[in-house]
């Protein structure tokens, strides 16, 4: 969810696939090497009704073309129902191992006695990634991630990829191995950036292959740039997009009573922040910038089917 935490986790993932990926993502998809490829993505679907409705609106009426679902969260059944009925939409899973909000909590989809190292004394996921790192058994992390994917399939979701809520599933080398193994098991690309190349871990290296999808850049609005306003931040990011595959993530939701209660005492990525993300996506200028910059929009489904599952 939080880009700062995503950045921390991906600092653990540096360097590796260079030799495996002799051809760029653009080249493997049939585009010129200098193409600006973009996945415009919404995180956190399933966390709340507000998040679901705003994200669906942006998928149907704005340039948003990708989203990921939090399987353990209370509003998962609602977004699963939508995904099941709208299989052309690009829905991945926001692999969830933390429960960060003050008064709004969730826990594993696996029986708690099977993944006891993932939960606190109240039976919920830990609030912070560092607690997960300190206490979680990587084997139990893998069990929970696998069961989240299985539950999504049970609900009829055509899962296109996996990414990591708060970066938790990619926050230690051992967790990365679990995360990648689950993706490999189900033939799904997992969100990794090109810093994975430098990671010195034999188990990770053994999983990496030519079919592994690695994005060039992960972008989002950061707490330190939020004061500039979402429209300026995202417009600048799009106008300065580099060739290669960029993953630009937002958290659209409505600034209503539900989201205010969910994100209480949490201005970063809070209710107002999420409304500003939605407003940018629904501003006609966002689509105009994408067109003017000659950005090619692609989806995780395209990456899954043409690279990860390619024969």
Q: How far apart are CA 308 and CA 211, in angstroms?
A: 5
For residue 39, the model assigns a pLDDT of 98
C-alpha 298: how far from its chain's center? 15
Is residue 160 within 8 Å of residue 68, measured between CB atoms? Answer: no
Tens-place pLDDT, residues 74-106: 999 999 999 999 999 999 999 999 999 999 999
- The CA angle 149-145-4, to the nearest 5 degrees, is 115
Closest CA to 174 of 191, 199, 154: 199
For the chain, give the percent of residues with pLDDT over 70. 90
Q: Which domains are assigned to the chain?
A: 3-308 (3.20.20.370)
The model's pTM is: 0.91
What is the 3 state secondary structure string of 101-124?
Answer: CCCCCCCCCCCCCCCHHHECCCCC
For residue 205, the model assigns a pLDDT of 73
C-alpha 120: how far from its chain's center? 24
Tens-place pLDDT, residues 99-157: 999 999 999 999 999 999 999 999 999 999 999 999 999 999 999 999 999 999 999 99
Tokens of 282: 């629904």
Which stretches of 136-229 are DSSP H helices? 138-154, 173-185, 202-207
Closest CA to 280 of 246, 238, 243, 241: 238
7 vs 195, higher pLDDT: 195
**Would the pLDDT of 8 be above 60?**
no
Decide: residue 121, CB within 10 A, 0-12 exposed, 13-18 middle, 19+ buried.
exposed
Least confident of 57-71, 169-183, 198-212, 227-241: 198-212
The secondary structure element, H or E, covering residue 67 is: strand 66-69
Beta strands in 168-250 (DSSP E): 217-219, 244-250
For residue 210, the model assigns a pLDDT of 73
| Cβ neighbours of 185 (radius 10 Å) | 12
Collapsed DSSP state (helix, strand, coil) of residue 196 = strand
| Cβ neighbours of 164 (radius 10 Å) | 30
Tens-place pLDDT, residues 195-254: 666 666 667 777 777 788 989 999 999 999 999 999 999 999 999 999 999 999 999 999
């Amino acid at each position: 969810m939080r880009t700062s935490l995503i950045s921390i986790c991906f600092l653990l993932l540096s360097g590796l696939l260079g030799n495996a990926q002799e051809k760029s993502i653009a080249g493997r998809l049939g585009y010129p090497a200098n193409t600006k490829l973009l996945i415009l993505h919404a995180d956190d679907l399933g966390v709340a009704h507000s998040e679901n409705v705003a994200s669906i609106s942006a998928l149907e009426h704005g340039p948003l073309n990708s989203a990921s679902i939090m399987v353990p969260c209370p509003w998962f059944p609602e977004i699963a129902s939508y995904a099941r009925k709208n299989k052309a939409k690009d829905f991945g899973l926001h692999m969830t191992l933390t429960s960060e909000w003050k008064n709004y909590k969730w826990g594993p989809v696996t029986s708690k006695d099977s993944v006891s190292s993932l939960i606190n004394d109240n039976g919920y996921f830990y609030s912070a990634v560092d607690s997960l790192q300190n206490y979680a058994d990587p084997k139990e992390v893998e069990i929970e991630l696998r069961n989240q994917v299985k539950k999504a399939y049970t609900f009829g979701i055509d899962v296109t990829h996996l990414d990591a809520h708060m970066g938790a599933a990619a926050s230690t080398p051992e967790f990365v191995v679990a995360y990648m193994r689950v993706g490999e098991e189900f033939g799904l690309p997992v969100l990794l950036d090109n810093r994975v190349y430098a990671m010195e871990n034999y188990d990770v290296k053994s999983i990496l292959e030519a079919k592994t999808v690695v994005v060039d850049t992960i972008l989002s609005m950061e707490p330190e740039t939020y004061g500039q306003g979402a429209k300026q931040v995202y417009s600048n990011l799009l106008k300065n997009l580099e060739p290669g595959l960029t993953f630009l993530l937002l958290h659209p939701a409505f600034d209503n009573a539900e989201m205010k209660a969910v994100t209480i005492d949490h201005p970063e990525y809070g209710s107002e922040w999420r409304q500003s993300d939605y407003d940018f996506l629904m501003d006609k200028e966002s689509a105009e910038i994408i067109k003017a910059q000659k950005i090619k929009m692609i989806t995780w489904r395209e990456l899954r089917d043409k690279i990860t599952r390619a024969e």
